[in-house]
Structure 1
Amino acid sequence: MNYIKHLNGVFRQFSKDSRLNPSHVSLYMALFQCWNQNRFPESFQVDREETMTHAKIGSRTTYHRCLNNLNDWGYISYLPSHSRFKGSRIMMPIFGTTAGQLLDNPETSVGPAVVPYININKHNKTLNKLSRESKPKNEHDVVEFFKLNKWPLSEGVKFYNHYQGVGWKVGGKCMIEDWMATARNWMLRARELKKESALVGRSNKKLTADYLDIETNKNYGEPL
């Protein structure tokens, strides 16, 4: 992940977004620093108190409001945890580079992160043909965008039908500023939910196996 291009891209977006205030920007930079320290994984866990300290935000209300705003406006994907023992997770859409996210595996990396060379000129020319407005011109634009990001075309249709049905608004209130950023957020959430579903499935399978693992050859003559 080219963080210089990413930061240039996201600050260009910041300069055009009148909804942002200094707390939004400082929180985003605190999250970016955490993402950087973890070597730009697909998602990472955040500690609220530590993030508030880095962002110079003293109020939990302000912290959660800004976090939800950044999520709703497509700058991050916020995956809250409802467990006191498990922190919330953040996913960061890429700005200023390719539409897909280049991942680095922190568990297997032993040296500096190496980003392979990718010729993105052709990819960017295709993206420039698509609408970069608050909503796409038609369903075809959405399906083409999902296709370029190597996602099932059916997901593009679902995305289009969902937001077409709610008038291209987030939470039924705020108009979408950049439908492509919202689409990337949709993809990140879908990927994370798929992983969580797989983990739950394996856990349930193990619990079922343990529950059924009973001893049938018992000696009922022995005392309890």
Structure 2
Amino acid sequence: MNYIELINRFWIVHEENCFSPCEIAIYFYLLKVNNMCNWIQFFKRNNAKIMADLGIKDRRTLENARNRLKQAGLIDYQKKNTNPNVTYSITSTLNAQVDVEVGVQVSVQDLHKSVPSKDKHKQKDNILPIIPHENNLPFPEEKSKKKSSRAKKEFIPPVLDDVLRFFSGSLLPDWENQGRLFFSHYNSQGWRKGTGVQVTDWDSLANKWILDEKIKRNERSTGSKTNNPASGNGYAGK
């Protein structure tokens, strides 16, 4: 795959996974670094350098975002506990048996030329041309692979910063306090619901928390106006 095909492939996967701004920034940052390295298969990057370049303040935020990209099949990485340098690779759907440098167009004739003449007739039928799918859509086998990986995707608990960022748009006057209460409640019970079922989408739970809180406040506000004698036509007993 060349640079443009990798970008198109990312946005197709994004439609299924709804990556966060942090995850999007990390993927395109790694693309840029790999491009600077002339698209070698494995390249290293320091954790502190990535966090400084992208303005990521929490180490766990970087690790969670990196793990989601790996689960989606966009990148792979290897790390050692004592080494701040992580080895990355940009995954590709190209056939591993065909050694093609990223960004280089290879024709069917070029593939046939690479086969020795005495064995050409024997191996000709085993070589398949690499044909881009119409309208930059994924190859059929790649699409089925994504479906299976999506079904196996594990829930990644959010960090407190993610929750507070979500609650900041809720219009609640005490959104920060509510965000901390929400995080403390579900984090203390291992991100499981009251029935013991594992949480799969914490955003939906946060939306329900915010909506319930607004309903309770509205009911309290309405009740206080109803019970206030001054809100009626006169004091009671008059």
Q: TM-score range by the shorter chain?
A: 0.3 to 0.5
Greater relative contact order structure (CA < 8 Å, 6+ sep): 1
Provide TM-score, normalisation by structure 1: 0.48
Which one has a bigger Cα radius of gyration? 2
Higher helix share: 2
